[in-house]
Structure 1
Amino acid sequence: MPVWRASVRMALVSLAGLVAAGLIATGLSGCADMSGIAPQASLRDAPSLGLNTATAPAPVAAEWWRDFGDETLNGLVTKALETSPSLKLAQARLARAQAATDVAHAATLPQVNGQLDLTRQRYTANGAVPPPLAGSIRESATAQLAASWELDFFGKNRTALDAALGSAKAAQADAQAARVLLASQVARSYFQLVRLNEQSGVASRTLAQREETLKLVRDRVNAGLDTRLELRQSEGGLPEARLQLEAVQEQMALTRNALNALLGQPNSASALVPSAQSAIKNVALTPNIPADLLGRRADIAAARWRVEASSKDVVNAKTQFYPNINLVAFAGFSSIGLGNLLNSGSQQWGVGPALRLPIFEAGRLRANLRGKTADLDAAVESYNAAVIDAVRDVADQVASSQAIGRQQAEQRAAQDAAESAYGIAVQRYKAGLGNYLNVLTAETSVLAQRRLAVDLAGRALDTQVALIRALGGGYAPEQLPGAQNATKLIAVNARPVSVNGLFD
């Protein structure tokens, strides 16, 4: 039998012996000392949040902003999704997490390395090197391939890979959450600009009305029909109207700056002409909180994947208590004298197993396990906090949406009354039964109602966008390429994972 085959057989026999010894050592040690270390937190599910599982409205469309029927808004959101630095940052973090997954996957496979060393050396004449090398200057060389493979009997590398996959999934959900947030911020800023543009028109009309009032009062003072008191009161109303117009224009400038920042392109929204508020469609949304809300939100999905990654980190920390078993081999040439490097006599090779078993590590492994368990508790509580905040967010937006609808109904009634009074004042003025000052006074009430109508309509649009974002903003979980072994995301209305079961 060739020598190398006999050596390989002996290595395999030794490997079997090491595996058996490792298993015996593991059994004798009682699976190491992990007593008293267990997570304390538990995941919240739909029943504990009081969500109604009977309602399941359709999810929000991925490009929900198109439902408002405004091409200007569509263009702004599209541009922001293409150029925003905040979104590119989230995508870079996703790429980093995917790279970490590849690194963890590589640890589960055999590793092969090449080596080439060339050395010119003088050997000591007074050491352990015998003549004729002693005191001579020679060249030495080594050329070989080395291979190693950690036999993952206890799942250390597999759990590290699962943890990396969970982190990559969390980063992927974070990138989607950034996309949803960016789109909603652009839409809300644009609707704010639409509202301010409408308010600017009302403020301009108010200024014009105050100027007409001042002219009329002056004429009446000159005719002896009014006193200087009325004149001074009318003069004070003019700078007040200019102040309101300037304040609106300042808010418009700040809103445009906010849009520029969201788009990542300075001055891109400076010349933007917003659409009329009446031309924007309202989006009808469900008045109920869906039971599958937490499966629709990217931030909740990211928090859930972090729980999965932390749970795998805990399992990985447990595997550190068990032996490591490696299979190592090398083959190549080594010689003194470069001319002899490729001679058959310069061949060298070796193969054999190695076992490493922690015996005394001064509590390091238990401390590491406690730390990973604390991380898991923190991830679970972060998930629970995100869940509770998500439910509150949706509830707030639903309540605001319903309240705004009722306020708009009352405001329309008040505006109808003001418009009617204004119409009567105009008719009386035309008939010679009243003066024009009464007309302007009636128009003041109309303008006040128009400002209120613009504000309420703006709030309605803003609340619709906020509710869309709270309902997930069109997020749909996607499977990461090459992540077939990753744990599937568990919906909130399904049975939650037993975190304590990790320590059974």
Structure 2
Amino acid sequence: MYVTSPRLFAGRLFHGALRPGLLGLACMAALAACATSGGLEPRAKPLDGNALSAGKSLGNASLSAAQFPASDWWKGLGDAQLDALIAEALQGNPSLDAADARLRQARAQANLSDAARKPSLGASAQYSGVQLPETLAGPELGGSYLGSTVLMLDFSYKLDLWGGDKAKWLAAVGQAKAAEVDAQAARLTLSSGIARAYVGLAQAYAAREVAENEQKRSTHLFELSRQRVAAGLDNQLQQRQAESMVASANLQAEAAKQQIEAAGNALAALLGRGPDRALQIQRPAMLKAAAPAVPGVLPSELLGHRPDVVAARWRVEAAAHGIKAAKAAFKPSVNLTALVGLASSGLSDLFSSDALLGFGGPAISLPIFDGGRLRSQLDSRDAEYDLAVANYNQSLVGALRQVTDAVQGARSLDQQLAAANRARDAAQAALQLAQTRYKAGLGTQIDVLNAQRPLLQLEQQIAALQSQRLATAVDLDVALGGGLVLESPSSTLADTSVTP
């Protein structure tokens, strides 16, 4: 039983006589413990976002007073059906459920780390009995039943003298913050995936329309060629060429149909629905893309808007606090324990003053020799920090690259679309001229059909360019953070030192 524990008498003995010696030993051990972590430090350093220049690549005309994207950035494309699809997907989706589960898991881990820093108090009640035979214990103890009842309160508290427990908690908080940003990023990834698939669906419909017009044109041309061959005005060469055009147009129409089905299936999957959901999606309306413009505060302000960058910064913070916790493990720890209770052989005198049971006091522990475990643990935390910094630096460089790619791609596609539109206007004028000549008896229907072919080819090319331009608009909104409101760490590089 606790009342006869030798630790109780040892505590009384050392309380007065050896207290100064214990304090001196603790101080000496603390100095020795601190020395054992020497020579282990992280190597990586986070990049300064302002040191990554991008103004010339973006072009001065692109840098403006433009705002960062709104949280519903997809509405800028101007299609109500797209708005409804994204709203439906954000209501519930397996990918979002997984991200939310990871967030709850990280928050629970942070709460566990926080609970470990606080005092604990537990209560217990126990009854036990024993009867020894006289043949073993003799007539003095044997032959009778002995029972005992114990009521106990157990208190313990670890003093966080070096901030190690707080550092563990802050590291878990950093991981939870990163998981929170990841959960928001999952919604951005989902909405942008739907927008891109929707743009692909619009292009597929446009390609099918052009293919159907080409089918009509080539079929008409084939019929004319066959009539002319029958009349002896042409040979089989023209008829075979026309027949090849019909087959090519049929191929394009079938390919466009397959693209429509694939884009619809992709949208249904992103919505978390079955393929039949795609059958309810109508042809997209005329989508529009705004002129490319980025805020003039790049790249510094980009750090607080990109979810991947912000999450990487939180993981750097968490890794830095992990280093502090590992360093604190080299130092002595002090635990306060107290045990108070009542113990009696019978219930009648359990609550009497004679039944009081108590034990407690401080306990000091320090590492002396552990085979290099603590140094290896600190070295691992340093490596984790270096890895987190490397991921942060890579995400920052990649973020600026994505913004630049989107802006440059939009500018180039705008120029390509302008050139393609001029070419289409010229082809349209040529077709009108051929039609005028045919009506005046100066040309043939074949001339009209031949003049229509370049126009259809240009319309198909313009549809593809418009789709690419819309995709770059989506890419730019996503590259600028997608309108997410994110909480960033107070600093990029946390202090990894341990201060008493």
Q: How does 1:213-362 map to 2 (within 5 A)?
A: 213-266=221-274, 267-276=276-285, 279-286=286-293, 289-337=298-346, 341-362=350-371
Amino acid at match of 1:186: I
1:44 matched residue in structure 2: 47
Q: Pairwise mapping of residues 459-474 of structure 1 onto structure 2 (< 5 A)?
A: 459-474=468-483
Change (3 A) 1:300 1:439: same
Cα deviation code 1:91-122 (max 9, x no counterpart): 11111111111111111211011212233444
Counterpart residue identity of residue 280, structure 1: L
Q: Does 1:393 align with 2:396?
A: no
SS at match of 2:40: coil
Report if aligned partners of 1:199, 1:454 keep a CA contact under 8 Å in 2: yes
1:84 is aligned, of 78, 81, 93, to 93
Deviation at 1:340, TM superposition (A): 5.3
Change (3 A) 1:125 1:157: farther
In the TM superposition, residue 499 of structure 1 has moved relative to its aligned partner by 5.9
Q: CA deviation at 1:458?
A: 0.7
Amino acid at match of 1:92: A
- Say which SS state the counterpart of residue 31 (structure 1) adopts: helix
The 3 A distance-change label for structure 1 pair 396 and 25 is same
Q: CA distance change for structure 1 residues 330 and 499 in 2, over 3 Å: closer, same or farther? A: closer
Aligned to 1:212: 220
Q: Is the 8 A contact 1:11 1:351 kept in 2?
A: no
Q: 1:147 to 1:241 in 2, by over 3 A?
A: same
Q: Which moved more, 1:25-34 or 1:238-247?
A: 25-34
Give the unaligned 5+ runs of structure 1.
1-6, 480-487, 491-495
Indicate how the Cα distance of structure 1 residues 350 and 498 shifts in structure 2: closer, same or farther if over 3 A, else same: closer
**1:414 and 2:428 matched:** no
Assess, with a 3 A threshold, how the Cα gap between structure 1 residues 337 and 247 changes in structure 2: closer, same or farther. Answer: same
**Residue 168 of structure 2 aligns with which residue?**
160
Q: Secondary structure at the match of 2:341?
A: strand
Aligned equivalents of 1:72 and 1:124: distance in 2?
A: 87
- Residue 292 of structure 1 aligns to a residue in which SS? helix
Deviation at 1:135?
A: 5.7
CA contact (8 A) 2:103 2:180 kept: yes
- What is the alpha-carbon distance in structure 1 between the residues aligned to residue 225 and residue 22 of structure 2? 104
Q: 1:436 offset after TM fit, Å?
A: 0.6
Amino acid at match of 1:281: K
Following TM superposition, by how much is the alpha carbon of 1:237 offset from its aligned partner in structure 2, in angstroms? 1.9
Determine which of 489, 492, 497 is the counterpart of 2:493.
Answer: 497
Change (3 A) 1:42 1:198: same
Partner of 2:150: 142
1:159–1:312 Cα contact (<8 Å) kept:
yes
**Residue type of the alignment partner of 1:374:** A
Alpha-carbon shift at residue 12 of structure 1 (Å): 13
* Secondary structure, counterpart of 2:451 in structure 1: helix
The match for 1:31 is 34
1:51 and 1:420, CA in 2 relative to 1: closer, same or farther beyond 3 A?
Answer: closer
| Of 408-417 and 142-151, the range deviating more from structure 2 | 142-151
Tell me if structure 2 keeps the 8 A contact 1:11–1:352: no
Contact 1:301–1:489, Cα closer than 8 Å, also in 2: no
Range that drifts further, 50-59 or 345-354: 50-59
CA distance in 2, matches of 1:405, 1:321: 62
Contact 2:159/2:333 (8 A) holds in 1 = yes
The 1:213/1:51 distance shift into structure 2, 3 A limit, reads closer
Secondary structure of the residue aligned to 2:446 is helix
In the TM superposition, 1:96-175 aligns within 5 A as 96-123=105-132, 132-134=140-142, 136-175=144-183
TM-score normalized with structure 1 length: 0.88
Distance in 1 (alpha carbons) for counterparts of 2:248 and 2:350: 96
Q: Deviations over 1:137-185 (max 9, x none)?
A: 4443322111111111111211111111111111111111111111111
Q: Is the 8 A contact 2:218 2:242 kept in 1?
A: yes
| Counterpart residue identity of residue 285, structure 1 | P
Shift of 1:198: 1.2
Q: How far 1:434 sits from its partner (Å)? A: 0.9
Q: 2:179 is aligned with what amino acid? A: A
Give deviations 1:24-76, integer Å, cap 9, x for gaps: 13454262311110111001012331245996642211111112221111111
Name which of 69, 79, 86 aligns with 1:70.
79
Query: Is 2:203 the counterpart of 1:195?
Result: yes
Q: Give the fraction of aligned pairs with identical amino acids, expressed as a percent.
A: 36
C-alpha contact 1:108 1:157 (8 A) present in aligned 2: yes
| 1:335 CA displacement | 3.2
Cα distance, 1:379 vs. partner? 0.6
What residue identity is the alignment partner of 2:287?
Answer: I
Q: Which residue does the alignment assign to 2:383?
A: 374
Contact 1:148–1:326 (8 Å) recurs in 2: yes
2:328 and 2:498 in contact (8 A); partners too: no
Cα distance, 1:232 vs structure 2 = 2.0
Change (3 A) 1:338 1:355: same
In structure 2, how many angstroms separate the alpha carbons of the residues matched to 1:82 and 1:142?
55
Match of 1:364 in 2: 373
**Partner of 1:327: helix, strand, or coil?**
strand
Q: Distance in 2 between matches of 1:168 and 1:399?
A: 36
Question: For residues 273 and 17 of structure 1, do their structure 2 counterparts lie closer, same or farther at Cα, with a shift above 3 Å needed?
Answer: farther
| Change in 2 beyond 3 A, CA 1:358/1:369 | same
The Cα RMSD (Å) is: 2.8
Count of matched residue pairs: 481
| Of 213-222 and 187-196, the range deviating more from structure 2 | 213-222
Q: How far apart, in 1, do the equivalents of 2:13 and 2:287 lie?
A: 77
CA shift, 1:380, in A, is 0.6
Question: Secondary structure in 2 aligned to 1:362?
Answer: coil
Q: 1:256 to 1:126 in 2, by over 3 A?
A: farther
Instruction: Determine if contact 1:397/1:467 at 8 Å carries over to the other structure.
Output: yes
Q: For the Cα contact (< 8 Å) 2:406–2:476, is it kept in 1? A: yes
Match of 2:5 in 1: none
Task: Tell me, in whole angstroms, the C-alpha distance in 1 between the residues paired with 2:181 and 2:22.
Answer: 41
Q: 1:123 to 1:156 in 2, by over 3 A?
A: farther
Q: Residues 133 and 335 of structure 1: is their aligned pair in 2 closer, same or farther, counting only changes over 3 Å?
A: farther
How far, CA to CA, are the matches of 1:253 and 1:461 in structure 2? 20
